[in-house]
Structure formats: structure tokens, C-alpha cells
């Protein structure tokens, strides 16, 4: 299933300026097939916090009458070291997935608190479709829709560099949810 992305890069910049839209709302809009402006009120507390936790995203999905099926929920100590594994889990051809990424650093070291790690996360949407972009495709508000390999090669390095000087340069998913729109 290739999503219809109903907002442009300019729309995303404008929403970022006007109400702080970032990776969470953008990934949610793509997964739900909505314009970015339509998800503005779906994520509780986003207007105050400026970020999206898994709890906030689940609530937003419920508000949108969508159902999310977990494809991957690792414990905090697990890491999906092979990107191919991430894409195989996230890129189902019949759904669009929301993928929450954890950037690694001292905040993910053994003994670190989960609250510290929460500040170093990112949301993307992912899907599988051989007819469009590629077998594994993603949408990232920072790079648009593209093949997963292109995201890893072209979008991921500058994102990792911007995380913080203490970042290890690695990442892993904390959640992969396959989204089913308008669930009963």
C-alpha cells in the first residue's frame, strides 16, 4: 500500500512554524492518509510538549478511529542492529506502519532512565510496495517519501549528526505499529 501524502514540504514547514509540527504529526498524517493540518488536534498534549510519546500516538490513533497492531515492541535493552530486519517488520504491503526510532547515546546505556531516552526519538512511516518507490519505503518529514535504503544513506546521517555530540551514531526501533485506518 503506497500512501497518498496529502501535504507538501512547504505545508510541513508552515505547520512547524505555526504549531510546532514535527516528525510525530507528519508520520501520523501519512499513516492515516490525512493532510498534516487534520492531525493537529489528534495528538494529546502535543501543543504543550512538542513531541509525541507512544502513549500520545496511541491516543491519536484512537481519536482517528484507527487501529494499530504491534509488529515490534522490544524491551529497552534490545536493539535491531540490521536495518533490513526493521524494514521487513515495518514494510507490510497491506498497511502503513508507524515506526518510532530511538537514537542511541548515554541516555540508552545500561542504568540510564527511560525519561532521558524519550528526548532522543523520531517517528517515520513505512510501507512495502514494489510498484512505487521500492519494496521497502519510508516517509520522514526530513526527507519525504523514498526507498528505505535511500533514507539510511541520505537522510539518516544528518539526523544522527544533529541528535547531540554524545550520540553513538546508532539507532533502533522501539515500536513498529501497522496502522489499519477507520477500525470499528
Stretch among 75-79, 121-125, 135-139, 167-171 having the lowest mean pLDDT:
75-79
Dihedrals φ, ψ of 134, to 5°?
170, 175
Residue spans of the domains in the chain: they are 9-180
Cell of 53: 510519546
End-to-end CA distance of the chain: 20
Neighbours of 25 (CB within 10 A): 29
Cell of 57: 500516538
Higher local confidence (pLDDT), 41 or 166: 41
Average pLDDT of the segment spanning 142-150: 93
Strands of 67-72's sheet in order across: 67-72, 171-180, 96-103, 121-129, 134-140, 144-147
pLDDT at 49 over 50: yes
Where does the pLDDT of residue 181 fall: very low under 50, low under 70, confident under 90, or very high at 90 and above? confident
Where does the pLDDT of residue 183 fall: very low under 50, low under 70, confident under 90, or very high at 90 and above? low
Is there a contact between 127 and 95 (Cβ–Cβ < 8 Å)?
yes
Angle CA 168–174–176, to nearest 5: 135
Stretch among 64-73, 110-119, 128-137, 157-166 having the lowest mean pLDDT:
128-137
pTM of structure: 0.91
Amino acid at each position: 500500500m503506497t500512501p497518498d501524502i496529502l501535504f507538501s514540504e512547504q505545508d510541513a514547514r508552515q505547520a512547524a512554524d505555526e504549531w510546532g509540527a514535527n516528525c510525530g504529526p507528519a508520520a501520523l498524517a501519512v499513516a492515516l492518509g490525512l493532510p498534516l493540518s487534520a492531525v493537529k488536534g489528534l495528538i494529546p498534549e502535543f501543543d504543550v510538549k512538542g513531541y509525541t510519546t507512544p502513549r500520545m500516538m496511541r491516543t491519536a490513533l484512537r481519536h482517528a478511529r484507527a487501529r494499530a497492531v504491534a509488529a515490534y515492541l522490544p524491551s529497552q535493552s534490545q536493539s535491531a542492529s540490521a536495518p533490513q530486519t526493521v524494514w521487513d517488520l515495518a514494510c507490510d504491503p497491506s498497511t502503513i506502519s508507524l515506526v518510532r526510532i530511538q537514537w542511541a547515546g548515554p541516555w540508552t546505556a545500561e542504568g540510564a532512565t527511560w525519561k532521558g531516552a524519550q528526548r532522543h526519538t523520531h517517528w517515520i512511516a513505512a510501507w512495502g510496495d514494489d510498484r512505487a518507490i521500492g519494496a521497502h519505503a519510508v516517509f520522514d518529514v526530513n526527507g519525504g517519501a523514498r526507498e528505505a535504503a535511500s533514507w539510511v544513506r541520505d537522510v539518516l546521517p544528518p539526523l544522527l549528526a544533529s541528535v547531540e555530540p554524545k550520540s553513538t551514531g546508532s539507532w533502533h526501533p522501539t515500536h513498529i505499529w501497522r496502522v489499519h485506518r477507520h477500525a470499528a
